Amino acid sequence: MLKDITLGQYFPGNSLAHKLDPRTKILLTVLYIVTLFCARSFVSYGIVALLLATGVKVSGVAPKALVRGLKPILFIICFTAALNLLYTPGEVLASFWIFKITKEGIFTAFFMVLRITMLIMGTFLLTYTTSPIALTDGLETLLGPLKKAKVPVHELAMIMSIALRFIPTLIEETDKIMSAQKARGADFESGSLMQRAKALVPILVPLFISAFRRADELAVAMECRCYHGDAGRTKLHVLRYQARDYLVLAAYGIVLAAVLTLAHFGL
């Protein structure tokens, strides 16, 4: 049952979106968010939507998968919509009790929902087309300049990749421990909240012990291979921008400029 949880959500593929340098994709995602927050009119939202549609098409990710990703934040979307709908001052269209629905409210709520939905979909596109390892690699390189300010960028990236690497392992382990305790009659499904919390002890103790054991073994294995942190460390796969990265970034620059210009004229 625990195996059904998907993490990282990376869909392997061979599209242009998959082949782009992870740094390009991270930059694009940041720029996309900026664009989204600059958009104020139907025209500029239309442009961003078109952009997102193109991205989805190019990546070959099933639109269904993107929509499914929205499910966990459905509540936040509805909540935001309701708040904006009811509390934006302006030309009153309908009112009851203390609530007033205004024309501006309808527009704001609509745009808000559009903004959040597209924001989530756009960032999902990044994680769907980029493997977690490539993602951390890209982040590490992009944040490289921060090393001058003594930010341990490499170490942070390493922590992130190790964490990602061990999530499936620990899920499998939890599954095994749960089965073993169930075989001894442990009951995780019934009882009061307190009893259920107590029932977790037989899972958590072995899980923590095994996590520490694994951490210890990993540390020894890394030492054996002379890992000593960032200094003097080279990469097997060096990230290099290709022509397609420059092209995509340039194309995106034009779109961003267009949206900003439109925003300047109040569109």
Partner 1 sequence: MKPIIRVENLTHTYGVNTPFCRNAVDHVSMEIMEGEFLGIIGHTGSGKSTLIQHLNGLLKPTSGRILLGEEDIWADPKRIRNVRFRVGLVFQYPEYQLFEETVYKDIAFGPKNMGLDEKEIDRRVRSALAFSGLGEELLDKSPFDLSGGQKRRVAIAGVIAMEPEVLILDEPSAGLDPAGRQSMLENIRNYHKEKGTTVVMVSHSMDEVAENVDRIAVLANAGVVMSGTPHQVFSRAQELLDVGLNVPQVTQVAMELKRQGLAIDPAVYTVADLRAALCALRGGIA
Residue 88 · residue 108 · CB < 8 Å: yes
Whose Cβ is closer to partner 1: residue 139's or residue 207's?
Answer: 207
Whose Cβ is closer to partner 1: residue 69's or residue 202's?
Answer: 202
| Smallest separation, CB 219 to partner 1 (Å) | 19
| Smallest separation, CB 224 to partner 1 (Å) | 21
Whose Cβ is closer to partner 1: residue 131's or residue 210's?
Answer: 210
Distance CA 203, CA 201 (A): 5
Whose Cβ is closer to partner 1: residue 175's or residue 223's?
Answer: 175
Whose Cβ is closer to partner 1: residue 162's or residue 180's?
Answer: 180
Whose Cβ is closer to partner 1: residue 7's or residue 247's?
Answer: 7
Distance CA 238, CA 257 (A): 31
Q: Report the interface residues with partner 1, using CB under 8 A.
A: 173, 176-177, 179-187, 201-202, 205-206, 209-210
- Cα 167 to chain centroid distance, Å, stands at 16
| Smallest separation, CB 14 to partner 1 (Å) | 16
Among 57, 51, 4, 54, which Cα is nearest to 32's? 51
- Cα 68 to chain centroid distance, Å, stands at 14
| Smallest separation, CB 67 to partner 1 (Å) | 18
| Smallest separation, CB 185 to partner 1 (Å) | 3
| Smallest separation, CB 103 to partner 1 (Å) | 46
Q: How, if at all, do strands 99-102 and 92-96 pair?
A: antiparallel
Among 69, 71, 56, 210, which Cα is nearest to 125's? 56
3-class SS of residue 90 = coil
43 torsion bin: left (phi>0), alpha (psi -120 to 50), beta (else): alpha
